[in-house]
């Protein structure tokens, strides 16, 4: 059992109960830097025994991850990535002890796979069927893959400036992709309000304990791979700063357990065109002022790091370290150099870290005798454009550039998004009937309508898309409407979706009794005009939306 005994505030020391989906905020000083405490004595005994029988991935350290009963959950594999000694890149810069923590070996080639694995496992453990995330790219893809395996419907919000390959990749895994024409902070805002309106779980990144805890497994792996020694430096490129916050909780846990004799110095590297942390650090400030991003490396374009910067600042003051920025050109040059020297293709966000390493070595900020670990994450050549069409995302327009949108613009965008994300599943083997209903629905509002031609296909689509309304014929091949309704009601994911049944034949009293309490309404084809029938369906949709929003 690994449920945290409590959360402890790193600022004031206050202890409070752990709640998995409640933002971790200290109830005494309102700090967001709360760290879970576990049964470390039992875990240390297992560590000293060599963790026998444990998998070679992050679940190796499940005793200090926030799951009540890991053995009862189908755990998504992540972590267990190699640690390479740089053979040519770092030696060419005059340093022989640079190690590369190669997170490209995760399920979606990103260290965010760790975050997704733990966060989605906790969702599974708590019977969450649908969730929302805002991302600059890699987290969205990682969550989409993990949610696909868990059967969780995921809404992904990404700024339209994110490379299309990243959006396509998330869509490939079945996520509902919302492309926002605004900056990342606006994207987070609209994702949050969308989640509130639909009463869905919003993954909150750095303020989510499961997400942040997942990252400390990087520290455990590094130390174990170095023969239970800590490096002198840990270097990572950041956008919002979740990664190193979690990693350093791992280093601190191992130091407290007596497993390492020091905590590494921390180097945070940002793209120069979006470097609010670096600007504040060099000015000696513990609070970062927001900036408007101006970098081609969109994955690192968080203009407002918020409190994450303050916590990272505290780490550098306590354990040593620095924050540095590099230009886009320096990052792209480092990407080419790493590929040619180490045979490693990385994305620009990772090359920022290596450009930062190069700058630190050139300026003598890392001593020749110091052992360095660089976080390496992300691939370069996604192929999803070859298997997805152009209609893989929904667009929300907030602003043509990266400036903030007025509040009325945000509300209008949300109302438009409510229509675009309202889905109706038609299950009918009569294509003509389905097409007529579809046209009338789409003519009324910008609803999205899916069509299945038999009951088995409809059941699969219902579980995948979790529509707002299901309209089903009673007589179909595969599985009839009665069996379909029963299967939908047995599944916790689809149990609460309203169902309207239509039938071409008279329905007997016994059949009505079988459907009673399971559906919203039953209609006989021809008893209402198609337009009146569609009006009734729209009323069901709007009533459901009102219930979801608590009105």
CATH 3.40.50.2300 domain locations along the chain: 422-548
Query: What does the alpha-carbon distance between residue 432 and residue 429 come to, in Å, rounded to a whole number?
Result: 9
Task: Say if residue 406's pLDDT is above 60.
Answer: no
Q: Are 139 and 111 in contact (CB under 8 A)?
A: no
**Once rounded to an integer, what is the mean pLDDT over residues 101-127?**
93
CATH number of 422-548: 3.40.50.2300
Tens digit of each residue's pLDDT (9 = 90 or more) over 362-394:
999 999 999 999 999 876 544 334 334 455 566
For the four alpha carbons of 494, 495, 497 and 501, in that order, the dihedral sign comes to positive
Helices then strands, each counted (H, E), the chain: 18, 19
Q: Between 3.30.750.210, 3.40.50.1100, 3.40.50.1220, 3.20.20.10, what CATH number should domain 113-209+389-412 receive?
A: 3.40.50.1100
How much is the pTM?
0.80
Residue 403 has pLDDT above 70, yes or no: no
Calculate mean pLDDT across residues 15-34: 87
The separation between the first and the last C-alpha atoms of the chain, rounded to the nearest angstrom, is: 39
Residue 185: name the closest of 323, 100, 306 by CA.
Answer: 306
Residues facing residue 180 across a β-bridge: 159, 396
- CATH 3.40.50.1100 placement within the chain: 77-106+215-376, 113-209+389-412
Q: What is the DSSP string of 46-97?
A: HHHTT-TT--SSGGGGGGGSS-S-GGGS-PPP-----EEEPSSTTGGGT-S-
Higher-scoring residue by pLDDT: 297, 44: 44
pLDDT class for 415, splitting at 50, 70, 90? low
Given a cut of 90, whether residue 116 has pLDDT beyond it is yes
pLDDT at 184: 80
- Structure tokens, 179: 């492309």
Count Cβ atoms within 10 A of the Cβ of residue 110 and give its class: 0-12 exposed, 13-18 middle, 19 or more buried.
Answer: buried
φ and ψ at residue 150, rounded to 5 degrees: -85, -10
How far is 539 from 546, CA to CA, in rounded Å? 11
Residue 33 confidence (pLDDT)? 80
- pLDDT 10s digits, 263-312: 999 999 999 999 999 999 999 999 999 998 888 887 788 888 888 899 99
Q: What is the pLDDT of residue 503?
A: 84
Average pLDDT, the chain: 87
Per residue in 301-352, pLDDT (tens digit) is 888 888 889 999 999 999 999 999 999 999 999 999 999 999 998 888 899 9
What's the rounded Cα separation, in Å, for the pair 300 and 111?
Answer: 14
Q: Is pLDDT of 169 > 90?
A: no
pLDDT on residue 398: 63
Of 317, 330, 320, 140, residue with least CA distance to 237: 330
Q: Write out the CATH class of domain 77-106+215-376.
A: alpha beta
Map residue 467 onto helix, strand or coil: coil
Q: Is the pLDDT of residue 66 over 90?
A: yes
Residue 389's pLDDT is: 47
Structure confidence by residue, pLDDT tens digits, 216-256: 999 999 999 999 999 999 999 998 888 899 999 999 999 99
Phi-psi region of 100 (alpha: psi -120 to 50; beta: other; left: phi over 0): beta
């Amino acid at each position: 059992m690994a449920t945290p005994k409590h959360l402890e505030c790193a600022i004031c020391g206050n202890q409070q109960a752990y709640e998995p989906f409640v933002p971790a905020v200290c109830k005494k000083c309102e700090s967001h830097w709360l760290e879970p405490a576990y049964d470390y004595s039992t875990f240390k005994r297992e560590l000293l025994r060599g963790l026998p029988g444990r998998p070679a991935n992050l679940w190796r350290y499940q005793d200090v991850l926030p799951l009540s009963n890991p053995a009862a959950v189908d755990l998504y594999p992540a972590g267990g990535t190699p640690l390479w000694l740089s053979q040519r890149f770092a030696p060419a810069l005059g340093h022989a002890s640079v190690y590369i923590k190669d997170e490209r070996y995760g399920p979606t080639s990103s260290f965010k796979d760790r975050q997704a694995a733990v966060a989605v496992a906790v969702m599974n453990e708590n019977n969450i069927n649908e969730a929302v995330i805002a991302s600059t790219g890699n987290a969205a893809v990682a969550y989409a893959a993990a949610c696909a395996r868990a059967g969780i419907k995921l809404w992904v919000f990404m700024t339209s400036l994110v490379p299309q390959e990243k959006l396509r990749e998330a869509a490939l895994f079945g996520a509902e992709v919302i492309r926002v024409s605004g900056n990342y902070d606006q994207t987070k805002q609209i994702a949050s309000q969308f989640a509130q309106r639909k009463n869905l779980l919003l993954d909150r990144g750095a303020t989510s304990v499961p997400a942040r805890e997942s990252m400390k497994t990087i520290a455990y792996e590094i130390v174990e791979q170095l023969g239970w020694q800590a490096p002198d430096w840990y270097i990572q490129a950041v956008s919002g700063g979740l990664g190193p916050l979690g990693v350093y909780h791992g280093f601190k846990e191992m130091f407290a357990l007596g497993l390492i004799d020091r905590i590494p110095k921390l180097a945070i590297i940002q793209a120069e065109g979006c470097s609010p942390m670096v600007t504040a650090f060099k000015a000696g400030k513990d609070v970062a002022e927001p900036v408007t991003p101006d970098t081609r490396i969109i994955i690192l374009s968080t203009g407002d790091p918020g409190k994450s910067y303050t916590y990272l600042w505290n780490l550098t003051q306590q354990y040593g370290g620095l924050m540095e920025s590099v230009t886009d050109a320096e990052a792209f040059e480092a990407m080419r150099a790493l590929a040619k020297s180490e045979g490693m293709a990385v994305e620009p966000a990772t090359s920022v870290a290596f450009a930062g390493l190069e700058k630190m070595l050139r300026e003598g900020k890392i001593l020749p005798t110091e052992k360095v670990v660089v976080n390496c994450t992300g691939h370069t050549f996604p192929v999803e454009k070859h298997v997805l069409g152009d209609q893989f995302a929904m667009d929300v327009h907030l602003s043509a550039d990266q400036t903030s949108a007025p509040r009325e613009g945000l509300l209008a965008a949300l109302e438009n998004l409510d229509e675009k994300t309202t889905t109706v599943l038609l299950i009918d083997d009569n294509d003509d009937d389905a097409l007529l209903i579809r046209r009338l629905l789409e003519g009324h509002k910008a609803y999205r309508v899916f069509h299945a031609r038999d009951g088995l296909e409809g059941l699969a689509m219902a579980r995948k898309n979790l529509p707002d309304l299901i309209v089903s014929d009673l007589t179909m091949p595969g599985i009839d409407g009665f069996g379909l309704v029963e299967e939908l009601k047995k599944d916790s994911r689809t149990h609460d979706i309203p169902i309207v049944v239509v039938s071409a034949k008279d329905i007997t009293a016994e059949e009505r009794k079988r459907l009673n309490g399971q559906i919203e309404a039953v209609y006989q084809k021809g008893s209402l005009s198609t337009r009146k029938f569609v009006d009734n369906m729209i009323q069901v949709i709007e009533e459901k939306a009102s219930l979801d929003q608590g009105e």
